[in-house]
Structure 1
């Protein structure tokens, strides 16, 4: 990943973090102003996005007797989904009802719609002491102390060599090197693993949640590079007739407050890089 790509990633992360705060602030106004037809369209949008499931949509529509209660139920469900869900709801409000979006989020009207309008640097640019002090005094900026900076830690898992030689990820070592350099330049201690089975990925992730630096760190990265399918990362023993698969949802479970309270309310950046396995299998079949 290039540094420009990393900058874009962090732009989206900041947008998500702000979105979570904004959706909480406008709860009452949303309940008051949103119309029932728009509410139903938002439910359809979020169901299509797979942010909500059928049961949650039915709960909003059937367990509430009036529009206001439906709106409260929807926004509360979305808030529990985290920052990503809040951002998705805000985006859909803008698409479905621009006037409502402008009334709920007036400060966002003059901001660029996407990071593609920004010019990114291909290197990390350190801020001056005065800029850093100004940012640290801003109540809307996530605080980073010298102590937490020194406690930063990241998990990096790279699967290159598979039991099935056809799955060997040639060049993966270069991606690993680039990511390692990037994380270290951001002052993260990197816990690195290579060529893990699904069981070993699970073990490495669980061990990472017990890392002594997590208590003091301001954030963590978890980076896994391998082959994969929808919602799954492949371990190095994967074969067509003998799957070796690690569910991506397990990452969120392990890093969540129930399993890792030391990371509660701290940014957790998860990067998954994989070649879609079915496409790879098709290419292999065509070569044979």
Structure 2
């Protein structure tokens, strides 16, 4: 029977002691300089206790595994000092510094050359931590295959609800297109490891729904805009009934980050740019046809949860009154809305983070695909989106709430898989 470890020889005890001594000094200084107050310190203490308890279990598990696992784990701990020095090396910078563990010496040199390496407002929070997902996701069974819509049901809905739904073209002669843009490698931000899982799963889903998928990876904001314009001009849209635009990247409140994004020199594709490229004026081939935007990206640094809230938000909107009044009637043309038939489904609410869990991919994309496979044979698109939202309704440690935005769809959109 193995002897019980004493505190003096227990590596976990030593690590906890060192961490406690270091953090005590840090928090004393933060309180002394009025950076943190008592309530904030209490919240941090509760979070630190949770992490420490979980870390102890993790260390003990690794000690029982192979030497290689121990080396990998020890290597990440050894890099913590370097990461902290990177984060706090420049107090005058305009945003949080990038904390990274380079995969090679050459990569380390390239990524440390610029003292502005950073993550803007929560970009680092697209986490790989194996924490608890929302209860709706934990409890539901994953749908392995896409459930097809019976032909008789397709014909019935298409006939009886013809005035309420978007027209669906017959499979023969239909040329549906979908675009996936996924940024995985970044110059200044964390690389989005394991994003290939989301790509493969989303590509498979769209192809099973009858879309030919165009995949583009690792683009700047300008390159993304160029690809969108080229995609909008594809002749296949004339004989298509809809399109999907899928974006997977880091993000901020203002939009999707390109691969060169940093605080002092933003590289961001704004939502307005996307909608403008595909509006009724610039993309006539998709006029009166559903245009579905799926966006997997953080939108800020917060986790989207509260304990108590009594305040109410105030929203305002500005109108270009002069421009509105300058519009004149012209009997030779037909008036049309500039922007219709759009819907955007984003992985989180504004200002908040979006989670990615290890090799299984992002929570949002995983649940979205699962709901499509289960329900798109009988439900319209917006109802499917609501089912995705419902699965996130009860928060776990990993908390986010997917959000339906900028909806200008005038009818219901059914995908009718198999038809």
TM-score by length of 1: 0.52
Post-superposition offset of 1:173:
1.2
Post-superposition offset of 1:171:
1.5
Q: SS at the partner of 1:167?
A: coil
- Name the residue aligned to 2:201: 178
Post-superposition offset of 1:276:
3.6
- Name the residue aligned to 1:130: 152
Q: SS at the partner of 2:293?
A: strand
**Within the alignment, does 1:151 sit opposite 2:175 as a pair?**
yes
Post-superposition offset of 1:200:
0.2
Gaps of 5+ in 1: 1-118, 284-288
**Within the alignment, does 1:201 sit opposite 2:202 as a pair?**
no
Q: SS at the partner of 1:182?
A: helix
Match of 2:293 among 244, 249, 270: 270
Native 8 Å contact 2:251 2:297 kept in 1: yes
Post-superposition offset of 1:145:
2.0
Could you report, residue by residue, the CA deviation over 1:125-162 in whole angstroms, capped at 9, with x for unpaired residues? 21222212212212233321225773110010000000
Matches within 5 A, 1:61-76: none
Post-superposition offset of 1:124:
2.2
Match of 1:249 among 272, 281, 306: 272
Gaps of 5+ in 2: 1-139, 304-352, 354-419
**Comparing 166-175 and 183-192, the one that deviates more:** 166-175
Native 8 Å contact 2:252 2:299 kept in 1: yes
Q: Give me the whole-angstrom Cα distance separating, in 2, the residues matched to 1:132 and 1:227.
A: 38
Matches within 5 A, 1:1-288: 122=143, 123-138=145-160, 139=162, 140-146=164-170, 150-164=174-188, 166-276=189-299, 278=301
Q: SS at the partner of 1:161?
A: coil
Of structures 1 and 2, the larger Rg is shown by 2
**Comparing 124-133 and 227-236, the one that deviates more:** 124-133
TM-aligned CA distance change 1:148 to 1:215, over 3 Å: farther
Q: Give me the whole-angstrom Cα distance separating, in 1, the residues matched to 2:261 and 2:232.
A: 25
TM-score by length of 2: 0.36
Looking at secondary structure, tell me which structure has more helix per residue: 1
Q: Give me the whole-angstrom Cα distance separating, in 2, the residues matched to 1:268 and 1:131.
A: 24
TM-aligned CA distance change 1:121 to 1:218, over 3 Å: farther
The number of residues matched between the two structures is 163
Q: Give me the whole-angstrom Cα distance separating, in 1, the residues matched to 2:172 and 2:245.
A: 17
Post-superposition offset of 1:268:
0.6
Could you report, residue by residue, the CA deviation over 1:180-215 in whole angstroms, capped at 9, with x for unpaired residues? 111111110011100000010000000011111111
Q: Give me the whole-angstrom Cα distance separating, in 1, the residues matched to 2:299 and 2:257.
A: 10
Q: SS at the partner of 2:201?
A: helix
Ranked by relative contact order (alpha carbons within 8 Å, sequence separation 6 or more), the top structure is: 2
Q: Give me the whole-angstrom Cα distance separating, in 1, the residues matched to 2:142 and 2:158.
A: 22
Q: Give me the whole-angstrom Cα distance separating, in 1, the residues matched to 2:172 and 2:179.
A: 17
Post-superposition offset of 1:267:
0.5
